[in-house]
Amino acid sequence: MPIFDQGYQHWNGALTSHARRWWAVTRQGLRAQLRNRRTKYLVISAWVPALLLAAFLALWGLFEQKSSLLQPFFFLFQALPDEIKQGPKAYRTTIWTVAFHWFLWIELGVSMLLVLLVGPDLISQDLRFNAIPLYLSRPMRRFDYFLGKLGVIATFLAAVLIVPAVLAYVIGVGFSMDISVVRDTWRILAGSVAYGLIVAVVCGLVMLALSSLSRNSRLVAMMWAGVWLITWMISGAVGESLEDSKIKTRPWELISFTNNLHRIRQSLLDTGSAARQLEQLVVKAQEAAKTVAGGSLPGMQETRRGPFGIRLPMRRRPNNAAVPPPPPDVFGNREDDSRQIQQLRDLFESPYPWTWSAGVLLGLSVLAVGVLSTRVRSLDRLK
């Protein structure tokens, strides 16, 4: 029986291994997405916080060395507590942790927006234009296809989470002129990279699953907005409603997709340790303020704000300086003091274990993989 030419052009050259075939899909996806000006601008603007982080780490490095180069920026460090000023190296890990924490917090918001821009079309358009057979009729497995699409999201997220974090870290180490920085802060780098990978994989899988649920990419974008923003608002609303309930672990925070990612970040960066060191500083500052309020140190009856909004005692004034009357509720208010400490804890710690969030994210990822394998069928099962 003769075999007729059906237009298939046989390729006689060598084929790449399966391990690299996903890259063809990723490369094409990246090219397509980078044609969108808004995506390009967002990626570029996502680097602004990274520049600020790098600048901050560089200044901190110089501050540790008491470098004369720091003279023009000295005012920035005036507000720091004396403990930090006298022994900055003891606070190195804490300061770096806090800096990376805020950087990654901002970048997570940018990442969510980036996924909203680049993700919805990835599979929904292939479904809409019936393009999946074009992929699967090549020597390509469904896994390669998924990996290729995941690669598009992962590349963009790596570009705003991992790459800038690593570069900022390198700059920070470079300016510190001290190899012990690596010993003190390696965990922050490893944590940041791991966090970036987790965000890329989880967000990528969830977005791909959503994208495979509809041929309408606008609907996919709305579903992503729901996963990102509405779950966050729901978590807040449930929290308000159950604030005075017996539940102290605040499990409703698990409803929020981004809260779960924040919780993982806290664990990876060990922000709890940083919070405890900062807490000690706050407690010392509060005690010192109470002592001053007792009359032993005239001229220290005002407050000033340290980093992260922590209330600190004022520096000494000359005895003959005019002293304004203290605000009535500044000192000796235990409720106020404990609220400050609680706020600090809320910023860097959560009352529930990180494994709960990891479980939620893992469950979402498994669900996403299930949805993907059901919605994107193999060639022999396509209609």
Partner 1 sequence: MTRAATPMITTEPPTRRAVSGGTWSNISGILALFGVTLRRLCRGQRIWLGVLTAAVPILIVLLARSQGELPGDRADRTEAALVFGLMAQMLVPIMALWLASGLVQDEVEEQTLTYLLMRPVPRPLIYLTKLAAAILVSAAIASVSSILLQLTIHWDDPNRLTIALDRGGKLAGAFSLGLLAYNALFGLLGLAMKKPQGVGVIYIVVLEGVLANIDFIFRRFTILYYVRVLMLRWLGMDGKRFNVDASVAPSNAECIFTLIGIAAVLGVVGGIVFASREFRVKTPEAN
For partner 1, give the closer residue by CB, 67 or 130.
Answer: 130
Is residue 233 a contact point for partner 1 (CB under 8 A)?
yes
Among 32, 70, 79, 229, binds partner 1 (CB under 8 A): 229
Among 138, 226, 273, 345, binds partner 1 (CB under 8 A): 226
**Span interacting with partner 1, options 24-32, 99-107, 194-202, 228-236, rule CB under 8 A:** 228-236
Among 51, 90, 170, 247, binds partner 1 (CB under 8 A): 247
CB 77 within 8 A of CB 91: no
Q: Tell me the closest approach of the beta carbon of residue 292 to partner 1, in angstroms.
A: 33
Is residue 222 a contact point for partner 1 (CB under 8 A)?
yes
Is residue 32 a contact point for partner 1 (CB under 8 A)?
no
Q: How far apart are CA 15 and CA 1, in angstroms?
A: 29
Among 223, 254, 310, 371, binds partner 1 (CB under 8 A): 223
DSSP 63-88: HHTT-GGGGGGGGGGTTS-HHHHH-G
Diameter of the chain measured on Cα atoms = 111
User: Any idea how long the chain is?
Assistant: 383
User: Hey, CA dihedral for 357, 358, 360, 361, is it positive or negative?
Assistant: positive
Q: Tell me the closest approach of the beta carbon of residue 40 to partner 1, in angstroms.
A: 13
**Span interacting with partner 1, options 177-185, 230-238, 300-308, 337-345, rule CB under 8 A:** 230-238
CB atoms closer than 10 angstroms to residue 245 = 9
Q: Tell me the closest approach of the beta carbon of residue 219 to partner 1, in angstroms.
A: 6
- 182 Cβ contact list (under 8 Å, min separation 6): 173
Is residue 296 a contact point for partner 1 (CB under 8 A)?
no
311 forms bridges with which residues in the sheet? 305
Tell me the Cα Rg of the chain. Answer: 26
Among 82, 83, 236, 349, binds partner 1 (CB under 8 A): 236
Residues 107-126 touching partner 1, rule: CB under 8 A, are 113, 116-117, 120
Among 218, 305, 339, 377, binds partner 1 (CB under 8 A): 218
Tokens read off for 129: 């234009």
Size of residue set near partner 1 by CB under 8 A: 30
Residue type at 49?
A: P
Please report which residue ranges of the chain form alpha helices under DSSP H: 18-34, 37-45, 47-64, 82-86, 92-118, 121-128, 132-136, 142-160, 162-176, 180-211, 217-225, 231-241, 257-269, 271-293, 334-348, 354-375
For partner 1, give the closer residue by CB, 100 or 252.
Answer: 252
**Span interacting with partner 1, options 75-83, 231-239, 281-289, 290-298, rule CB under 8 A:** 231-239
Among 240, 329, 335, 380, binds partner 1 (CB under 8 A): 240
Burial of residue 238, with CB atoms counted within 10 A of its CB: 0-12 exposed, 13-18 middle, 19 or more buried = middle
Is residue 248 a contact point for partner 1 (CB under 8 A)?
no
Q: How far apart are CA 240 and CA 345, in angstroms?
A: 18
For partner 1, give the closer residue by CB, 121 or 337.
Answer: 121
Q: Tell me the closest approach of the beta carbon of residue 178 to partner 1, in angstroms.
A: 40
Q: Tell me the closest approach of the beta carbon of residue 245 to partner 1, in angstroms.
A: 5
Inter-helix orientation angle 180-211/354-375, to 10°: 40
Q: Which residues bind partner 1 (CB under 8 A)?
A: 36, 38, 113, 116-117, 120, 214, 216, 218-219, 221-223, 225-226, 229-230, 233-234, 236-238, 240-247
